[in-house]
Each structure stands twice: as structure tokens, then as C-alpha cells.
Chains A and B, each alone.
Chain A
Amino acid sequence: MSQQKKANTHPMTMIQALRSAMDVMLENDENVVIFGQDVGYFGGVFRCTEGLQAKYGKHRVFDAPISEGGIVGAAVGMGAYGLRPVVEIQFADYFYPATDQIVSEAARLRYRSAGDFTAPLTIRMPCGGGIYGGQTHSQSPEALFTHVTGLRTVMPSNPYDAKGLLIAAIECDDPVIFLEPKRLYNGPFDGHHDQPVVPWSKHPLGNVPDGHYAIPLESASVFRPGKDLTVITYGTMVFVAEVAARETGIDAEIIDLRSLWPLDIDTITASVRKTGRCVVLHEATLTSGFGAEITALVQEHCFYHLEAPIERVAGWDTPYPHAHEWAYFPSPERVGNAFKHVMDESPGRFDSGAAGAIAGGR
């Protein structure tokens, strides 16, 4: 973070940063409209759109019926007209009724019409667990979007990135699924649920410029430089990886992908070729999760630099439980164990594959 901009920055939570991004874009582009359940008068169940209707009027920011398919479908039509809709699905767990409109329509519109029509939409969805949200307020469905050709999937991990990425997403002419880890809305979270939450005002990335700035999509950030191993992650797990590095003393280089797909392959390969070891980390369930794609890419691009099998730490292959939240959420301990395992591993060990698969549980 540049300190030169300090005069124009303010401490913001991720909620305030996202709101600021929408404020900037409503101001800058008269084709930007915002709608979704409870986003208008009330300002959103997470306060992300608070005050925007009062400032820009009901024609720019408005409440929508409880119909995810309707919200996205109407947005596709608005995009075809020439507007730039930013719509909200209250929880990522509730995007499923909009799947047809997202996959069959928004993602395909430019391709099937050879550019006659486009869908410059941003679909915001609070995602992720660690909040006792149970099965339908905790999911991380990113792999369901990264698999869809024509979509861009983005997830910030801090207020500074949240604003810059959301502005970039709104300005992007491709449809963007913008996933917001709600566990990070008010402060960073490293998985130590028994410790008090630190607010964003105490974190350097909580300092956010007031005006317009954009963080390019397809650009990952090296969240923590290191030389022992590379952690490829995003969202809440960035902070879990950071604390695991501190607690294990392993000098992990943490890559925050920010744009999940299409992603920044160069930053990934440069890091893994340097460290020779890789841990892929996400909250979402393991099997066919986005980590599988990252693992395959690293294997393909960095095979001759790898000193150990690539390790994955992820949510278990179960629906997200309520009471067992902290046994489910990939903890600093599980992540730290994976780090240690990757460091201990030597190539060619007969049990490396099986050991790798269960390492996260130990």
C-alpha cells in the first residue's frame, strides 16, 4: 500500500469498501444500476448498499422480488439494452435458481450472438463459512462458476482489493461473479475463532482510497513473500495461510489469486518454480473443487520444479455443518500440518500420494 495516497484514504471495512466501489461507479457511469433483495431502501442485509438509493434514486438502486432467476434474467435483458447492472444474490448458497440465466444466458450471450449482445453484469454474492451459517449461509460455490466458459469469477480478501476489484468487475464487459467472503466483511479472520476479531481499521489493507481505482482482473497478489513453499489460495483462507506460516515458522509465499478464473498463471508459476513446493487451499469442498484445477495447472506448468507432491487443504466433502463448524473449516492447524507435510515430503516416497490425501486431517 502506497502511503502517498494517505490524504485520500480512509479506514474502511470490506462492507464500506464495496459500498464505496458501487458509489463511485453509480457516480461515474449513468448506466450502472443496482438491484437485489433488500438492497434498496434498507441498504442490504449486510449494509453493502446502505444510502445508495437515497443518493441516486429508486431508478438506479432498487429492491427486487425474491427470485434469483428473475434478478439475473432481468439483468441480462438490461445488459442487452446497454445498462451495466450490478445485482446481488443475498447468499451465494441461493444462486442456484439463477443457474440457467447465469450459465445458459449471461455466460453465452456474447459467444452465441457473435458479439451482437453482451452481458456486462456483475453478480455479487456473499460466500464462505466460519460464521455458524450452517448449510445454506456458508457455501463456497466458486467451482460451479469457474467451470463455465464465458464467466469471470473474482473473490477479494480485504477492503482495498474489494473496492478495486469490484470497480474492475463493474467496468468489465464480461459477466463477473463477484464472491464476497462474508467472514471478512468486518475484519480479517485467520481461523482462530476463539480469539477476538480484529477490525479492518487495525489492518493496513483496511485503508482504502476514496475515489476511483481498479485492480486489474487476472492479476494475483503475492500476499506474503516467502521461499519455502507456495500457497495458492483466496478469500478467508489467505489469512489462515498467513497465521499457519507464522505458527509453523515455515516461510510460505502466499498467493492471493483474487481472480479465480481466468487467473494469473504467471504469478503462480513464477512462485512455484521458485519454491518447488505447493499447497492449494480453499474453504470449498475438495472433490472437483477449484483446487483440482489449480493443482493440475501447477503440475502441468511446474512439474520439473516440484520437490514434493502438491497438497490440497479444503472443506470436507460434506454439506457445510452447523455445530461442527470448526472441525469443518480448514483450520490454521490443518493448514500448518499440510505445510509441514509438504516440507517433509521427499520425491519418490512410496506412500506420498496416499499420505498427501489425508494429511489435512492430521
Chain B
Amino acid sequence: MRQNKSLRLHVPEPTGRPGHATDFSYLRLEPAGQARKPPLDTSVADSADLAYSLIRVLDEHGKAVGAWAEPDLDPELLRKGLRVMIKTRIYDARMLIAQRQKKMSFYMQSLGEEAIGTAQAMVLQKGDMCFPSYRQQNLLIAQDVPLVDMMCQLFSNDMDHLRGRQLPVMYSMPEYGFFTISGNLATQFVQAVGWAMASAIKGDTKISSAWIGDGATAAADFQTALTFAHVYQAPVILNVINNQWAISSFQAIAGGESTTFAARGTGTGIVSLRADGNDFLAVHAVSKWAAERARNNLGPTLIEWVSYRAGPHSTSDDPSKYRPADDWSRFPLGDPIERLKQHLILRGEWSEEQHQQAQKEIEAEVIAAQKKAESHGTLANGRTSSVSTMFEDVYKDMPWHLRRQRQQAGV
């Protein structure tokens, strides 16, 4: 057959670049309350539509509507969720400043994504294990982890229980069901599946929760995790946070153009949902549904959380070089804190005064924790763990060559 036209390589582009507003119509949004709630034992085929839809509970007035609204949800839980989100945001802001002051080398905020980990942490149980990426600090904050412990890791100081070995934000807290964070993207996604398989092998009741960003879904371990989760029906929640950006790359470059990340799950045979990641109530309801499926041996669930990375990728990043400066203000799903606040006020369970008071209290709490953490040292003043610890934990017992090198290092 004769070729008439030259072939052309398609390279996806975001609609918005610096100086040009983003057209968010690609998001496939649905009004709140529209998406149905399938039975826990739904089949992939029967729920496939939900992978292309959007589960939302809070409408534009802050009212909880539709099948996913949980009428008996304790307002105390919601107030707790709101406080955790506020705390996460304030923590991030303070740590960003501390990084600028060179008290640590690096930091990553989770601005705009606070609802997802916070609400899911509230449906998980003691003993479950999260396999987070580097932007789920709210999983820890939601469990009231002492902020001092988190900050000591950031400062790599002499109280850092990781002994200054890891970059800031690469926390490891098994006692809070928080797996050690790796710099290598997506690796934890399949490990979470393995952990869940182990729980099933042992006849345990624990489940795992895997976390990945939109960009990292392009890594091989993402598809591998889906395949293994499906094949062995592992009790795992597979969370994809689609914050639209992987550093400077728009989610279309990760394979999001004309499709959804939830659809990947469906294609692999996993019941998959797509939900509003900035809607605390939706995150809570959908996470609870997925956790119940896992606990009832009904298999894995993949959830694409649609959100927006409001802040820079990291302290080493300047988003104004690749996207509009005011992008977040036009993102249709808004700010998770504002939306939950509006909902609670609408129900008479919260007020502007309480909100301001909570912010003040939390700010004071974070500052006090920071002061305490800094009293144990920061990278700036070099109060770190002993250099000799650098040679420990490579193996369970130190082999001869490391003992020798430790001696050569003079420590």
C-alpha cells in the first residue's frame, strides 16, 4: 500500500503554559452525587463505567449528596480530618521556610493533596501497612505522629532515627504502618502487593495501601503491581494520586490523554474507581469501601484520586517555568480544606471562629515542635548522628570489609 502522508510523532502538551490559562475541560468531571455506589462484591465489568466517571460527595455549596454520602459520619471525625489537613499544610509551610533557611537540604510539600492520605488513614486500622510515595506526610500526621520525630528526620539531626542516611521526607515509621520511603519511584507499589499477599498467605486480617503519583504510573512496577494484585487477589488498596503533574510533565505525558488512570486497573481486571481527591467525604467513603473489599477477601481496588499539585514539585523546583502561576485558583475541584470547612459550617458543626482558632493552635503546636526538633540540631549546625553509624545496617552483622573501612575512616 502506498503511503500518502508523512507520519508525525504525537507529543502531548498541556493546554496551559506560563502566561496562558489551563483549559481544565480534559478532567472528565461529574457533578457531586452523580456516580453510583456499587455493591462491595461488584465485578470489574459491572463497575467499569466508574473508572471513567468521578465520585464526588460535596456539591458546590458544601452539601453531601448522592449514594457515597455517609449519613452517619461522625462530625468529630470530620473535624479531626480538617485539623489534620490544616496541620499538614502548616507543617509543610514551616518546613519550606526551614529549608530556605538551610536547616535542611530539601523539602516536598503536599499542598492541595491533604485530603487523600488524611481521609484514607482514618479508615485503615492499626497493623495495616501503607507503602507511600514522598507526598503522603498526612498519613503520619493523621495518626498524630509526634511532629518532632518527623522534623528530626528532616533536619538529619542527632535524634533522626534514620541516622542521617536518608534525604529529608523519606520517613520510615513501621509503628504507624508507614513503610520506608525510597527515592526510586513506583518500587513500593508492587511491594505493597507482596505485603498484602503475605498477609493473605498467613491468614491475617491486615491489608496494605499502596501509593503512587500519576507520573510514576508509567514505571514498570505500576503495571507489575496491578498484575500481581489481580492474579493473587491481594488485599490491597492501590491509590493513584493524579495531581496532574510529574515535576514539569503534564499527566498526558504519563499516558493520561483521552483516558484515565483508573481505566488501567479495569484493564488489568481490578475493580477501579475514579474519585474527587479534594473532597474529604468522597475520599473517606471510597477508601472505606475499598478497605472493606480487601478485608472481605473481595480483592484489590484501584482508586484514581483526581487532585492538583498546588505547590512546587519540591524545593528544587520552580513551577512558573512550565505552568501558569495561578493554575490552582482555576482548578475545578478547589481546595480540600476550604471544601470540608464549608461543609462543616453548613452543618453547623464548625465556624469561621473555630477555624481561625484551630489554625492558631496548630501553628503554635508546629512552631513548638520545630523549636524542640531544632534543639537536637539541624544540618546547618552539623549536629548529626555519629559518622561510625554510616557503616551500620548495610548487613545485619558488619562484614570484615566494612569493619576495615570504618577503621580507615577513623571513626
Chain A contacts to B: CB under 8 angstroms = 33, 59-60, 64-65, 67, 69-70, 73-78, 80-83, 97, 100-101, 104-105, 108-118, 149-150, 152, 172-174, 218, 262, 265
Contacts and interface: CB of A to CB of B under 8 A. Distances in A.
A116 B227 CA distance: 28
Interface of B: 129, 131, 161-163, 165-166, 170, 172-174, 179-180, 182-184, 187, 190-199, 201-202, 208, 220-221, 224-225, 227-228, 231, 393-396, 399-401
A81 B172 contact: no
B187 A112 contact: no
B190 to A, nearest CB: 3
A173 B166 CA distance: 22
Q: Which 3 A-B pairs have the closest CB atoms?
A: A77-B194, A74-B194, A73-B190
B194 A73 contact: yes
Nearest to B219: A100
Contact of B187 (A67, A75, A105, A113): A105
Given A73-B187, A114-B172, 7 more contacts: A77-B191, A80-B191, A83-B198, A101-B190, A101-B221, A114-B161, A115-B393
Contacts, number: 137
Contacts of A174: 395-396
B4 to A, nearest CB: 40
Contacts of A218: 399-400
16 contacts: A60-B201, A73-B190, A73-B221, A75-B194, A77-B191, A77-B197, A80-B191, A112-B172, A112-B180, A114-B161, A114-B165, A114-B393, A116-B174, A174-B396, A218-B400, A265-B401
A68 to B, nearest CB: 9
Given A109-B180, A262-B401, A69 B174 contact: no
Contact of B394 (A60, A97, A105, A110): A110
Contacts of A108: 182
A101 B190 CA distance: 10
A127 B48 CA distance: 44
Specify which of A59, A116, A149 lies most central, judged by the most chain B CB atoms within 10 Å of its CB: A116
B194 A111 contact: no
A101 B228 CA distance: 15
A142 to B, nearest CB: 17
Contacts of B174: 113, 116-117
Contact of B395 (A75, A82, A97, A110): A110
Contact of A69 (B161, B170, B180, B221): B221
